[in-house]
Chains A and B, each alone.
Chain A
Amino acid sequence: QTVVTQEPSLTVSPGGTVTLTCASSTGPVTSGYYTNWFQQKPGQAPRALIYSTSNKHSWTPARFSGSLLGGKAALTLSGVQPEDEADYYCLVYYGGGQVFGGGTKLTVL
């Protein structure tokens, strides 16, 4: 069973920069895994931010960016805003299936 691992929690100051990562138990994450990133706030459904590693949706704020970093998928927030405090999940595609990472709780403090 494939396991996708994210940092359980991170803290960042307003205006700062933070990078969340997403690692696969099967080996390096590549563009072929089509990593998606989601933001989820309490009581809400997840909202898509990034697809296919680095593509933004029309509604994704410019301060969010996706990339590959050291064998992992990465989500970088530059110029963090208080409203970015949320849970973030990556989703990795494996052939016919998909696996979510365990999520990162981002605190803006």
Chain B
Amino acid sequence: QVQLQESGPGLVKPSQTLSLTCTVSGGSINSGSYYWSWIRQPAGEGLEWIGRIYTSGSTNYNPSLKSRATISADTSKNRFSLKLSSVTAADTAVYYCARVHCPGDCYYDYWGQGTLVSVSS
């Protein structure tokens, strides 16, 4: 059974960098059949796609984040990470990591439980 688990500080100060890690168990992030995504959800609001990383290392990001997001992968530890720089209170949200089965018909099949990150001084 594949499991994803987000981890990282629950509180980040404004203007600093938010750093989260998603550790994958029960499957390899090196599998060419998947890519790995980050999604966030402010309290009481909708979902926002942040970006994704392929096993090749190539990435795509939500343009609304204005290049503040960086996703990377550590295949030796079977995990991938998100860094979001210059955070403000608007970045306070539950952050989810997820696996997406691709190519062909792409679909999300496994999600982490989510981790709340608050931005406050």
Contact = CB atoms under 8 A, between A and B. Distances in A.
Contacts of B61: 97
Interface of A: 1, 34, 36, 38, 40, 45-48, 51-52, 55, 57, 89, 91, 93, 96-103
Chain A, interface SS category: strand
Interface of B: 39, 46-49, 52, 60-64, 96, 105-109, 111-114
A57 B111 CA distance: 15
B114 A45 contact: yes
14 contacts: A1-B63, A38-B47, A45-B111, A45-B112, A46-B47, A47-B111, A51-B105, A89-B47, A91-B47, A97-B60, A97-B63, A101-B46, A103-B46, A103-B47
A1 B65 CA distance: 11
Nearest to B97: A45
